[in-house]
Amino acid sequence: MAVLALVPLAYVVSYVVAIGPVELWELVARPRIAELLRNTITLAVACMAATAALGVALAVAVERTDLPGRRLWHGLLVAPLAVPAFVNGYAWVSLDRGVQGFGGAFAVVTLSYYPLVYLPVVAMLRRLDPALEETAFSLGHSRSRTFRTVVLPQLRPALLGGALLVGLHLLAEFGALSLLRFPTFTTAIYDQYGSTFNGAAATAMAGVLVLLCLVLLLADLRLRGDRRYARVGRGAARTAVPLTLGPWRAPVLASVGAVVVLALGVPAFSLVRWLVAGTSTEFPVAELTEALVATLALALAGAVVTTLAAIPVVWLAVRHRGWASTVIERSTYVANALPGIVVGLALVVASLRVVPVVYQTAGLLVAAYAILFLPRAVVTVRAGLEQAPAVLDDVSHSLGLGTLATARRVTLPLIAPSLGAGAALVFLAISTELTATLMLSPIGTSTLATEFWSASSELRYGAAAPYALLLVLVSIPATVLLMRADSPAARTETVPA
Amino acid sequence: MSSLTITGVTKTFGTGPDATRAVDDVTLHVPHGSFTTVLGPSGCGKTTLLRLIAGFLVPDAGSIAFGATTVAGDGVRPVPPQSRHVGYVPQEGALFPHLDVAANIAFGLPSHARGGQAGRDRVTEMLDLVELPSHFRDRRPDELSGGQQQRVALARSLAPQPAVVLLDEPFSSLDASLRGTTAAAVRRALAATTTTALLVTHDQNEALSLADQVAVMRGGRLVQSAPPSEVYLSPSDPQVAEFVGRAVVLPGTATDGRATCALGEVVLSEAATGPVALMIRPEQVYVDLAHAEGVRGTVEEVSYYGHDCAVRVVLDDGTSVLARMAGVRHPSEGDVVHLRVTGLVRAYRPEGAP
């Protein structure tokens, strides 16, 4: 399975090697590529900075001040995660055609992705030991100086980790940027692939994109390594004394409210408006049902396959530590950084070349899902297996149970909840996956995402609305899981296609 | 139930120059129904020895027998742990977190004995044995304190009536006040069922107070196995002496049953001649506050514990000596006192001597 996860990377690398440096340079060193590179990097850097600032400011306002209704605000601030970025893009652009280009893309993407910074920072703020801040106060530091010198440095891993995640999401983002007419590598690869089937140009661009992703992935892996040592000991039972806002209460309240209105209110309003306008003319129950059933069937198959594939990877990583098992586990994380567009492209080319029979089958699409979402299943199942330490197996053996009986009566009952949670996360991620589904879904199969896409990209906004609504509805359970900020899943919400 | 006999057991981890001999030619007999503690510092191989007996590891050499049945070594194919009928109580209990107390205790019973009235009766019996109220049967492991978890873990291991119970530092994660009561309850439960038991620990108080026999391990080797009082009063060498309690080791010269040293003349437990190292327990050093009888010294430091106190005295010749005395009346720093040695003193061949 881990080998399968490396297929897309192997494809890109072998391709780049095969065409040789000269031709590659000709493909890459073109004004169009330079423009895409500039677009992609500018947008990524701007959005990472904006989400970082917004995420920390909101987290501090909700966790560390006497803002009224903090619990409610927390829920509302996480809720945008339930709106896929491409649905958000659709909501804005269908409301006002002016929202496009760099400004529009920047605003919509920032509003869609700031929770990826907000959530880990909130989790970190909750875990921080208030004794450290109290010590700083006792040493005569003011509140603002304590925040700068004590709190902020400890938030750094969560903040940087979240921002890197935003970067990875952004590099992979296709739907929203395409709707907002801001070309990046991902949208260009798709256009190239769709219009000309020009494999060479598309793959060369994919190579550059993969390189950008790997840079972010390496930064993230380094950070994860550091984080292990930086973790605060036992969960702090006490919470820090909240900062009194005083005269700042109204402005802070208004700012938090404005973010919620922009990130949640506008998409909701737009969706409802199109739903009303659209259903006045048509409401295709049969087509909606068909798309929903196809989506759920694909998601179910993908979830089962991905979770089953995660079990041996996790087993090796937890119970048989060694360089080989580490390499296997890490290699699944490489797939984590690969955008859906690259996985899709790689599987199209690889299947056509090696096993043409599987091209345009549901099986190939499920394989793409497994590659894309294996890391989510791995992290969740891993957390479960770590709850079942090897000493329990020893005890069970000493009580007369063999290997199979121990698996049945000890290990499986213990990891079953995490298997379920992992499968649920993958199921929900697949339901709203767009890019790989567009490229690989069998002819005649329509899913919620593909139907939404064909309607909205043809500017039939009313027809797209019911699909958008269903996409948001299936995203809600995953968002509720993620709202438990300390859940392992909070860190693994990764590259949507 | 049966005795446990370990003969010449050796276990090496790794190969080549990195190889460490974790257990080195250990021979030990635990009589039927008795309680032996294996005492040693961390890394001495005591947990490895336990895992060899349980069957989680296979010895490189030597044999292990329960009663007359050899379970490993002597050309016998090693019996897997699930067929050895050992009870195993690991550190921190390791209760199955998905099962309640009753299901944990009944875990090792055969399936026909687990359900129904017979299973319920056995669980009640075991809870009673480890001195827990019977309404604990429905609790989840996370609702129990550390000491209660250990008692349930013991009940779980005893329920299928194992040949031998192995306990791996079972009390080390408990705080001091719980440790004593839990250890006493465990000892009573083992005695009530006349279970052969082996407990591994690095805590000398625990090792001495619980066991019929203490086996001291150092660097993978078994250096002494004897009843607790013998290990304390007549340790096999000065290092063992210092490991199982505080000890004052002084050079001296022996003539037959007596020896002279910085603390004057002492009576030896075994006759010796020539230069010796004398091991004196601090409570053998009598501190005389009233009379000028014995060796004179000045009190340098007093550590007061309430029930008793430790007094460090520097003798006039510069030798530093530790004495332990009742806390009722004790000297202060700078006081001049006189010291005498009471009871028998064990003499060793001094280090470096042939």
Side-chain-side CA neighbours of residue A468 (13 Å) = 34
Nearest chain B residue to A394 by CA distance is B56
Asked whether residue A237 carries a pLDDT value surpassing 60, the answer given is no
The arithmetic mean of pLDDT across residues B309-338, rounded, is: 89
Asked whether residue B269 carries a pLDDT value surpassing 60, the answer given is yes
* Most distant pair of Cα atoms in chain A: their distance: 72
Do the beta carbons of residue A188 and residue A30 sit within 8 Å? no
Q: Is the ipTM of this complex over 0.95?
A: no
At A493, is the pLDDT very low, low, confident or very high (cuts 50, 70, 90)? very low
CB contact under 8 A, B90 and A399: no
Mean pLDDT over each residue of chain A, to the nearest integer: 81
Can you give the pLDDT at residue A228? 41
For A397, the closest of B81, B157, B162 (CB atoms) is: B81
Q: Which residues of A touch B166 (CB under 8 A)?
A: 398
Two structure tokens written together for B122 = 């056995």
A140-149, A253-262, A385-394: which is most confident: A253-262
At A52, is the pLDDT very low, low, confident or very high (cuts 50, 70, 90)? very high
Task: Spell out a b/e string for B320-354, using b for 16 or more CB atoms within 10 Å of the CB, else e.
Answer: ebbbbbeeeebbeeeeebbbbbeeebbbbeeeeee
- DSSP at A432: T
Report d(CA A476, CA A482) in Å as an integer. Answer: 10
Residue A244, H or E segment: none
The arithmetic mean of pLDDT across residues A278-289, rounded, is: 74
For A400, the closest of B54, B97, B108 (CB atoms) is: B108
The arithmetic mean of pLDDT across residues B120-146, rounded, is: 90
Do the beta carbons of residue B311 and residue B322 sit within 8 Å? yes
CB of A387 within 8 Å of any CB in chain B? Answer: yes
Can you give the pLDDT at residue B28? 95
The arithmetic mean of pLDDT across residues A450-474, rounded, is: 87
Report d(CA A92, CA A78) in Å as an integer. Answer: 19
Can you give the pLDDT at residue B253? 92
Can you give the pLDDT at residue A231? 38
Chain A interface, mutation test: which of B57, B79, B82, most A Cβ atoms within 10 Å? B82
Secondary structure tally for chain B: helices H, strands E: 9, 20
**Lowest mean per-residue pLDDT among A149-158, A487-496, B36-45, B133-142:** A487-496
Question: In the A/B pair of chains, how many CB contacts fall below 8 A?
Answer: 58
Can you give the pLDDT at residue A489? 42
Percent of chain A with pLDDT over 90: 17
CB contact under 8 A, B90 and A394: yes
Report d(CA A377, CA B205) in Å as an integer. Answer: 48
For strands B344-348 and B274-280, give the pairing. antiparallel
| B50 vs A137, residue with greater confidence | B50
At B282, is the pLDDT very low, low, confident or very high (cuts 50, 70, 90)? very high
Nearest chain B residue to A414 by CA distance is B98
Kindly report the nearest CA distance between residue A424 and chain B, in angstroms. Answer: 21
CB contact under 8 A, B94 and A402: no
Chain A, 394 to 453: residues with Cβ < 8 Å from chain B are 394-402, 409-410, 413-414
At B139, is the pLDDT very low, low, confident or very high (cuts 50, 70, 90)? very high
The arithmetic mean of pLDDT across residues B234-256, rounded, is: 89
Task: Spell out a b/e string for B262-274, using b for 16 or more CB atoms within 10 Å of the CB, else e.
Answer: bbeebebeeebee
Handedness of CA B52, B58, B61, B66 (dihedral sign): positive
Can you give the pLDDT at residue A384? 79
The gap between the terminal CA atoms of chain A, to the nearest Å, is 20
CB contact under 8 A, A401 and B108: yes
Report d(CA B99, CA A232) in Å as an integer. Answer: 30
Percent of chain B with pLDDT over 90: 52
Q: B336: Cβ–Cβ under 8 A, 6 or more apart, which residues?
A: B296, B297, B298, B299
Kindly report the nearest CA distance between residue A395 and chain B, in angstroms. Answer: 6
A42-56, A310-324, B102-116, B327-341: which is most confident: A42-56
Asked whether residue B158 carries a pLDDT value surpassing 70, the answer given is yes
- DSSP at A248: G
The arithmetic mean of pLDDT across residues A347-354, rounded, is: 81
SS (H, E, C) A41-95: HHHHHHHHHHHHHHHHHHHHHHHHECCCCHHHHHHHHHHHHHCCHHHHHHHHHHH
CB contact under 8 A, A398 and B160: no
Closest CA to B78 of B62, B102, B101: B62
Looking at the DSSP bridge assignments, the partners of residue B265 are B260
